[in-house]
Amino acid sequence: MNHFKKTTIALSLAQIAFVSSGTATAQTAPAANNEKIDSIVVSATRRDTMLQETPMAITAFTQETLANNQVKDLASLVAMIPSLNVEQHGDSGGVHVYMRGVGSANHTELGDPAVAFYMDGIYMPRPQAATALMYDLSRVEVARGPQGTLNGRNSTAGAVSLVSGAPSTDKVFGSASITVGDYRHLQTQAMINIPFSDSVALRLAAIKDSHDGYVDFQKGSNVLPGAAKYGAGNQEGARASLLWKITPDLKASFIADYYKDTGAGNIYLAVEPRAGQALRSALVDTPGTLDQSIMSYKGKISYKLNEATELQYMGGFTRYQRTNANDADAGLFPGFKAENRTDWSTFDSTSHEFQLRSDDNSPFQWLGGVFLFNEKNKIRFDIDRSQIAPATLAQDIASGSVIFVQPTVGQYASMMSFIQPDRQLKSKAVFGQISQDLNDQLKLTAGARYTKDSKSDVGGRNWACPGWPSPGVYGTTPLPSDAYAYAQLVTPGGGLVNTHNVGPGGTINAATCGRNYQGENDASLEYSQATYLARGEYKLAKNTLLFASVTTGFHSPAIGDGGATTKPEKLTSYELGFKADLFDRQLSLNIDAFMMKYKDKLESQVVNNVLANFNAAGATVKGIEAEWAWRPTNVDRFTGNATYLNAVYDDFISCDTDAARANGQSCGSTAPNVNVGGSTMKHAPKFATTVQYEHDFTLAGGMLTPRASLHYESMSFVGSGAFNNEVPGHPGVKKQEAYSTLDLSLRYAPYNKAYTLEAFVTNATDKAVKLDVSDLCGDLPCRPDQQLFGAFYNAPRTMGVRVAYKF
């Protein structure tokens, strides 16, 4: 793996030197009256089709569009996709992806995302895959709504597909770019395509992206000099793609793809900061560390049996690994330390898919396939909790020194470790789809898929000592009678920084843990599910398409702590769409109306220190999405999207954790369950829109293009627990009020040159937007009715310049 990475990066850097030597293809001035909308090919139907002729809600962008909009990952693509939201997370190295208000907040090895993520056709099962860098892509495709017939499980909300740039046997070509910005942002990337013959070509690409963190250390933080601030990024990627045209009818491609992130991760920030406290700051006693990598190998073989039939195989192996540490209390309770830490983890997955399909141009088209998928996970996740005496805390604050949360005998410390050595999934599926052109205008499509899965957890254990959960009210918790249990947990403070009770540098393990409590997670379940698709298309005119569909999908059931299991989530989606290229293809307009009915919708929420997975009774999601691209002249471009969304729970018996705590109650014991049917779901603003405008000016022998992109969202709920209710005493804490963000850029492309220059500002107004909100008192020694809210926020205003070169 390291050899592959170093070789690819070295070749890419050699290409930068080669490009810099002056071998380049000149760019000429654009032809007049070039006012038509650019076309793009997508493969969401498992066939190559033009975007405007694909009968589904799908958005696609080329690498050039991504680069011009400073898109480097899925989170930075949000404003460009209708109904898409991405929230950050701290102790998992991943993100939670939502579409149309539907997603999964279970980022652990116990859960699966609701938006499926694919890289070159290979399913990536862990949510951390959505953090991978987007570079040297042919395109990115985002399909909204259930994709269960062709894509299968866990695509109830939609699917994101990255398609890397393909090798070409035509000629040598390449590109390179460098981006420099504030927060010491530096990004370099390069690509070269090398044809060895008329039948073999190799394409190499690499990227490196780093920047400082956005969260300042507050006075009293216990960090070593030079520690990376939370939000700091240090990512790199490398890819090698080989094309081999074995015979005119037999073609194979192989891709090795590497990604690594050694940034600092993210941290909750105080939603209600203390007087004088900056929003983007935290009292840190666990500096963020992250070391995660994804290595994948993918292969595709296509064989044309005859003029009308093709056999195709796609297979892949992916290994994802992670270690990280995160300050889980975010400094909201001085004198108390809560550290979440992944000591080790490995997630291996393999997939195989066989397809037999007809010619794309036949009036009757058919496709059949078999899909096999296995995943094996193992992880150790530690939770470290400790606190110092109030007198010690007061002394540290008075002296202005570091708040050193290393308890001595007689003070509090506890820990818990989740060890999952063998968690597996085995999935098998068969699928098929047929389409018939009844005439030049009308086409009907039907498809079905049958999936059979088995999940198991063998030997999974949770152990805690000396007791769990966290202590009671700070400064009032009496020592237990067996104080020896505490004595062996803690080491008298010796001035060490970032010491642990358990894990690296700690003295406690399962054998020596006092008052050892062990919980078993052993469980297994088997289930099967059939999904189907029925769709009709009607060509109203040459460039105008109407379509209607009924689609079903499902999300896998979950295995939780203690071996608890859920039912699968199911849904039926009804969709009516319109796609048109108007005014001689100067205006592209797509409109999609939908209604999705969920049954046994899966939810995840931390209740009494435990991540609980459970089924809501149901939910209904209705809305209208519109996308447009308009070129009224050859120098003006208007693009954008708009969404109206109504996403509510139908009938959901649940405990409102926020209301319970405000009343000094506890879910599962003293707090009542209530029906929260009618409540709006997370990340489901009633209205959202993005409007972008570009204009080309001829200047100094080149083209100067300013761009402005405005994104607006109405109020939305971004925290679970309160549902549509206000948290007593904390108005608006779990809402993100209506907001706007603005991105600006200025790009210059000289004629007859092969380079471009660009200056840009993202989030120009420096708007702070809440992405996710939680009450952290579940893990802190708060009073029974006390609440401290932390949130993940978007990135602040950033700016930079980019130079790109092609040949």
Query: 398: pLDDT confidence band, cut at 50, 70 and 90?
Result: confident
Give the tens place of pLDDT for each residue, 718-773. Answer: 987 767 788 888 889 999 999 999 999 999 999 988 999 999 999 999 999 999 99
pLDDT over threshold 70, residue 485? no
- Predicted confidence (pLDDT) at residue 199 exceeds the cutoff of 50: yes
Token match 């092969």: residue? Answer: 754
Q: Would strands 158-164 and 137-144 be described as parallel, antiparallel, or unpaired?
A: antiparallel
Query: What is the CA 438 to chain-centroid distance, rounded?
Result: 41
Higher per-residue pLDDT: 361 or 441: 441
Predicted confidence at residue 473, as pLDDT, reads 67
Average pLDDT over the chain, rounded to whole? Answer: 85
Distance of CA 510 to the CA centre of its chain: 34
Q: Residue 497 has what pLDDT? A: 37
pLDDT band for position 374 (50/70/90)?
very high
Higher pLDDT, 327 or 90: 327
Least confident residue range of 124-133, 134-143, 217-226, 261-270: 124-133
Q: What sign does the CA torsion over 164, 165, 169, 173 have?
A: negative
Give the DSSP letter of residue 494. -
pLDDT per residue over 410-456, tens digit each? 566 677 788 889 999 999 999 999 999 999 999 999 999 999 999 99
pTM of the shown model: 0.90
Answer whether residue 338 shows pLDDT above 50: yes
**pLDDT at residue 486, rounded to an integer:** 41
Distance CA(445)–CA(366), nearest Å, equals 9
Determine the average pLDDT of the residues in 114-125.
90
Whether residue 163 is predicted with pLDDT greater than 70 in this model: the reply is: yes
Q: Which helix (H) or strand (E) holds 717?
A: strand 716-717
For the segment 490-520, what is each residue's pLDDT rounded down to a tens digit?
444 443 334 555 555 455 565 656 555 567 8
Neighbouring residues of 511: CB distance < 8 A, sequence distance ≥ 6: none
**Does 14 score more than 70 pLDDT?**
no
Helix (H) or strand (E) segment spanning residue 487: helix 483-489
187-191, 413-417, 595-599, 658-662: lowest mean pLDDT where? 413-417
Of 136-140, 319-323, 327-331, 665-669, where does mean pLDDT reach its minimum? 665-669
What residues contact 293, with CB distance under 8 A and at least 6 apart? 258, 259, 260, 261, 320, 321, 322
Range name among 98-112, 262-276, 578-592, 700-714 with the lowest pLDDT average: 98-112
* Residue 698 pLDDT class (50, 70, 90 cuts): very high
| pLDDT score for 267 | 94
